[in-house]
Amino acid sequence: MLRPRRLSLPASIAHPVRLLPLTFLTLIFFGTLLLLLPFARSGQHSPEFLPAFFTSTSAVTVTGLATVDTASYWSPAGQAIILALVEIGGLGIIALATVLGLFIGGRLGLRTRLVAQADMHVVNIGEVRPLFRRVAMTMVFFQAVTAVVLTLRYRSAYFGDWPTAVWHGVFDAVMAFNNAGFSLNNDSIVRYAGDGLIIIPIAVAVFFGAVGFPVLAELFSGWRTPARWTIHTRLTVWGSIGLLIFGAVAFMLLEWNNPATLGGEGLWHKIVTGIEGGIMPRSGGLNSFDWDMVRPETLNMGIILMFIGGGSASTAGGIKITTFLLLAYVIWAELRGDPEITIGARSVAPRVARTAITIALLAVMLVTSTTFLLMLMTDYGFDVALFECTSAFATVGLSTGITPDLPPDAQCVIIVLMFLGRVGTIAAAGALVLRRRMPRYHLPEEQPIIG
């Protein structure tokens, strides 16, 4: 038996809770440097720090918000750098979040000795490597299929030559599965609006990217036996499908007669765009219609969907489906008067519910206070500012179009939000679970009046 190699880092850094933010900070730093190189820009732009920093953060956190037009500001080389940053960022978040999940819970249906390392609080690179390989293979599989489908359609209907069609197909497939919202077009995917052969493959890739690796891994081997799925997989699968149907139906109903979106379109166009409207806020970021033109009710629904986000250890952001559904189960248990929080034939420890509530409330505080900041820094209304901040926090990448017009200080707020949204929820959840202390003594209880 080979002695596994260790990460050549001090143990305090190799701790997965710290590894996550440090990895992403490093990636953002090098991404910014690369994007500042002359060949990354097109035209006669002089190097500007803030656009490079913003774009690097947006790419590494797989968000997709952009203060400059990806199609015209960056050269093809710059676009390739963005593509690489998104791919590394997506791979990184899936792998590190999965490692952290194993490190903490150890019950994701994967056979690995990693759990035994939990007491040592050090990640063993020899044991993590097979996991990274599986994650990478899963990503390559989904992205390759999507790229082929998109390329064929691009070649037959939009681009006259194969190289352009392949470049667009690969770029959009990588963006879709990584839930990143960058586009080679200056209008995102508006020019493909209603084209089901483009929108549906992109939406499917976004959907699977947002499910998360632990669930995909469990489904891969056990999709025929739903009764034996873990609670985590069950919550994620049914939650994702439920939110997809809810989002798509609500979007279609609300926008059915809006002349700026679905009003003048045929039934097929409405269905395709409805599916997109239900999937993209969690947390794609490509749009074939203008989010500035939807009804205010639709904008609010989008904010709620973005805030909930996707599955754990996925490329999606938000507070995550499991966190959201746990809150619902807490309410349900309380309404029924049940002493335990039960899901199926399993109970959830009160401490787990408390962590979920803390994550959700801290997220609400973060989004609310930064929305407040954005309103102080600009003249935008509450709904537009809230949409932008939620999109950044949940690393969605949708916008009502205000991102390029934000002043530098507001851009920095969005940068911080994207970073905290990407690594903050995961690192916080990990840190909270790992630092739980056992009670040493009990204080006398007292009951304040509630309500």
Subset of residues 176 to 195 that bind K ion, contact rule: CB under 5 A: 179
User: Measured from the CB of residue 178, what is the shortest distance to K ion in angstroms?
Assistant: 8
Interaction pattern, residues 55-94, with a second copy; x per rule: CB under 8 A? ----------------------------------------
449 binds, among a second copy, K ion, none (CB under 5 to 8 A by kind): a second copy
Contacts of the segment 329-334: beta carbons below 8 A, 24+ positions apart? 329/353, 330/356, 330/357
Asked whether position 443 contacts a second copy by CB under 8 A, the answer is yes
330 binds, among K ion, a second copy, none (CB under 5 to 8 A by kind): a second copy
Binding mask 390-429 for a second copy (x = CB under 8 A): -----------------------------------xx-xx
The window from 125-133, 145-153, 269-277, 369-377 that contacts a second copy (CB under 8 A) reads 369-377
Q: Supply the minimum distance, in Å, between the C-beta of residue 132 and a second copy.
A: 18
List 271, 375, 402, 412, residue binding a second copy (CB under 8 A): 375
343 secondary structure, DSSP code: E
Residues 6 or more apart in contact with residue 218 via CB below 8 angstroms: 108, 109, 229, 230, 233
Q: Could you give the string, one character per residue 276-315, with x where binding to K ion holds by CB under 5 A and - elsewhere?
A: -------x-x------------------------------
Residue with tokens 């089901």: 196
- Closest CB to K ion: residue number: 285
Report the C-alpha gap between 43 and 247 in whole angstroms. Answer: 41
Report whether 343 contacts 329 (CB < 8 A). yes
Residues 397-416 that bind K ion (CB under 5 A): 397
Shortest Å distance, C-beta 154 to a second copy: 37
Contact with a second copy (CB under 8 A) among 313, 316, 413, 420: 313
Q: Which DSSP string corresponds to 354-374? A: HHHHHHHHHHHHHHHHHHHHH
| Binding-residue pattern over the window 262 to 281 for a second copy, x denoting contact by CB under 8 A | --------------------
By CB under 8 A, the residues from 319 to 348 that bind a second copy are 319-320, 322-323, 326-327, 330-331, 333-335, 337-340, 342-343, 345-348
Q: What are phi and psi of 74, to 5 degrees?
A: -95, 145
Among 245, 292, 382, 405, interactor with a second copy by CB under 8 A: 382
Pairwise CA distance, residues 102 & 114, whole Å:
7
User: Helices marked H in 158-230 — which ranges?
Assistant: 162-177, 196-209, 213-222
Q: Is 223 helix (H, G, I), strand (E, B) or coil?
A: coil
56-75 positions binding K ion, by CB under 5 A: 63-64
- From K ion, a second copy, none, interface partner of 319 (C-beta below 5 to 8 A by class): a second copy
3-state secondary structure 2-37: CCCCCCCCCHHHHCHHHHHHHHHHHHHHHHHHHHHC
Work out how close the CB of 65 gets to K ion at its nearest, in angstroms, rounded to a whole number: 8
| b/e code 190-206 from CB counts within 10 Å (16+ = b) | eebbbbbebbbbbbbbb
Q: Which of 155, 172, 235 is nearest to 209 (CA)?
A: 172
Cβ distance 166 to 139 under 8 Å? no
**Phi, psi values for residue 285, rounded to 5°:** 155, 0
Closest CB to a second copy among residues 227, 450: 450
Residue type, 75: S
Q: Which of residues 380-399 bind K ion (CB under 5 A)?
A: 395-397
Cβ at position 317, least distance to a second copy in Å: 10
Closer residue to a second copy in complex, CB, 100/173? 100
Residue 397 contacts which entry, a second copy, K ion, none (Cβ below 5-8 A, type-dependent): K ion
Give the nearest distance from C-beta 75 to a second copy in angstroms.
37
Report helix, strand or coil for 288. coil
Residue 67: in which H helix or E strand, if any?
none
Q: Which does 179 bind (CB under 5 to 8 A by kind): K ion, a second copy, none?
A: K ion
428 binds, among a second copy, K ion, none (CB under 5 to 8 A by kind): a second copy
Q: Which amino acid is at 62?
A: V
Instruction: Say how far apart CA 54 and CA 77 lie, in whole Å.
Output: 17
Element (H, E) at 68: none
Q: Rg for the chain (alpha carbons), in Å?
A: 22
Smallest gap, in angstroms, from Cβ of residue 355 to a second copy? 5
Interface residues with K ion (CB under 5 A) are 63-64, 179, 283, 285, 395-397
